[in-house]
Structure 1
């Protein structure tokens, strides 16, 4: 099959899933640009992207690397580089939590909104333990059939250059096996929502070690142009967002707060703080007591203005499916 044939096949499978959902007597009024509130435990909820009637997740890659690794484990990463990556996620979390409009305070049915900061970091270019997946076959197709041009900072369609690959995973089946699939979906940030995002958390052995994947390979061809245009050249997937400049500064930092390093070590289950700080120093990273200031005043104003503009639209996209209590 061609890349476009695979996308159409995925869409047809989702249509059949929806028909089966209706045949079971279930209803769904969720629209394509709406998100369903899901209780994820511990008094928190996430906003899962459309469709609720299908549990299929998709990923597109423009090349088959054999083993699909999260960014934190690529290129033979050292322990120090993994500690650095995780510490940067913590730096980003602390920075964004301090911004007006980005705090975890949106209450729904007695639950607090859960921001996935590692998932956000992944979507804004930081190295994480996640591999991106989406519920939208066309978005998976965009990443399967384009190549990022660093000089122009744009994605360009691949016409005649080797073989690409799609992955499909059933999140319902994987939820039953592990808790490593994270809903990213609608956040108070634009990019993950536009990409109908889920994240699969992986070890250094990659996706193939733990997940039941289906693979679909294809040869790059003229269909890439069609998929590129259907995705508006990626413009909708990467909207203008003042948060991206903050993420870039966090990603480029050569300074970390000690609290971020401590959190990274605890998350990765690594001991000996002094030894790890020396390893970070060898990478040109200094560690201090205070959190660095990553946000300029104009960015604070831009983010506040953006949130004021989109708050009503954000809330209008949130849908709730109530479940009867038969006690």
Structure 2
């Protein structure tokens, strides 16, 4: 029996106390979120102030948040939301997870990933049938179609994808860094206290938009469904094995949680309701995340998505085994529908909605030599 006077026991207790003290000291060395905001020199939006960084390059932009029309690599119009040329985009997390990876990469088994891809594809197919999405897809502006980012919409409505969300609005990132999803109340709540440090990542979007490597950044911006625009959304597309925190130029800022800071941010966004408007898509996405019935074509596409993600092909035997283990069943019809929701397909009303949605578009004068 080892007594309290045994030297080994004393050493163990001393080391344990020292480690606990160092952890405590380290945590208190970091600022609260409010202190971080006060000292981080975060620019104020909507003052009309010119962005001097881009003015030096001959580009005249200000800090007014609006919708800015851009053309993507596919020749489609993207209505970027927020400021036109943000110096940085941000990602907030209430804990510093290493590696920092997209939701599809957090799934452990092939059967989990296969089922997730099936559900993702089923939700994307449902988006194609949404009356307002269909209306928006038909529209042309000077003969140019609108960009409908179904994958980003799936990401924002809780489906597993290879994307990580970022935002051009620092305070939106602060919300996700200081609030958590409470399953019981089905709402976001402010973090009162935590032994874990919160984190805000910062990235320069221009670097990744120019980068020809695989880790690409895109402005998601306005979409026919409301969440991305409210969150001033952008996204990084990652591949298997990629860690967002390890990408070149990514910076991270750590802070300690406190209830006062969290509640202030929580109330700034109306307890999260401003960032997560209640709409039929949010209800359908819950159903999508519980699906086990899919069409043959959806299952085939899910296999292709899984093989692309994994970087390898699956044998017929493996597919049969994984499909059986995932309890995926065949359906003759697409499993998701908007029929139970009161969504208008009236063209005039959808036209009015689009005009209202896009009434904040800013245009600029350009010189064509």
Q: Tell me if TM exceeds 0.5.
A: yes
Aligned to 1:72: 104
CA change 1:288–1:166 in 2 (3 A) is: same
Alignment length, in residue pairs? 324
In 2, Cα distance between equivalents of 1:48 and 1:153: 30
1:263 aligns with 2:301: yes
Worse overlay, 109-118 or 140-149: 109-118
Q: Conserved in 1, the CA contact under 8 Å of 2:72 and 2:78?
A: yes
Q: Conserved in 2, the CA contact under 8 Å of 1:120 and 1:192?
A: yes
CA change 1:141–1:99 in 2 (3 A) is: same
Q: Conserved in 1, the CA contact under 8 Å of 2:88 and 2:202?
A: yes
Aligned to 1:113: 146
| Structure 2: gaps of 5 or more residues | 1-30
CA change 1:320–1:272 in 2 (3 A) is: farther
In 2, Cα distance between equivalents of 1:80 and 1:322: 53
The alignment's TM-score, normalised by the length of structure 2, stands at 0.79
CA change 1:203–1:300 in 2 (3 A) is: same
Offset from partner CA, 1:155-186 (integer Å, 9 cap, x none): 11113212111100111111222362122111
Offset from partner CA, 1:24-58 (integer Å, 9 cap, x none): 443336732x2112211223122212211323110
Aligned to 2:275: 237
Q: Conserved in 2, the CA contact under 8 Å of 1:138 and 1:231?
A: no
Offset from partner CA, 1:279-326 (integer Å, 9 cap, x none): 122112113453224323434449999856632211213334465443
In 2, Cα distance between equivalents of 1:282 and 1:226: 46
CA change 1:252–1:190 in 2 (3 A) is: same
Match runs of 1:1-327 below 5 Å: 1-8=31-38, 9=40, 11-12=42-43, 18-28=51-61, 31-32=64-65, 34-74=66-106, 76-103=107-134, 104-162=137-195, 163-177=197-211, 178=213, 180-205=216-241, 206-221=243-258, 222-268=260-306, 269=308, 270-272=313-315, 275-301=318-344, 307=350, 310-321=353-364, 323-326=366-369
Displacement of 1:70 = 0.7
Offset from partner CA, 1:224-282 (integer Å, 9 cap, x none): 12222222211101112111112222221111122122223333434446642541221
In 2, Cα distance between equivalents of 1:23 and 1:182: 24
Q: Conserved in 2, the CA contact under 8 Å of 1:259 and 1:289?
A: no
CA change 1:173–1:127 in 2 (3 A) is: same
Worse overlay, 209-218 or 113-122: 209-218
Displacement of 1:7 = 3.7
In 2, Cα distance between equivalents of 1:272 and 1:298: 41
Displacement of 1:61 = 0.6
Q: Conserved in 2, the CA contact under 8 Å of 1:7 and 1:137?
A: no
In 2, Cα distance between equivalents of 1:131 and 1:186: 17
In 2, Cα distance between equivalents of 1:148 and 1:79: 27
In 1, Cα distance between equivalents of 2:349 and 2:225: 10
Q: Conserved in 2, the CA contact under 8 Å of 1:57 and 1:168?
A: yes
| 3-state SS of paired residue (2:132) | coil
Worse overlay, 231-240 or 279-288: 279-288
RMSD over aligned CA atoms reads 2.8
Displacement of 1:17 = 8.3
Q: Which has the larger radius of gyration?
A: 2
The alignment's TM-score, normalised by the length of structure 1, stands at 0.88
Worse overlay, 193-202 or 82-91: 82-91
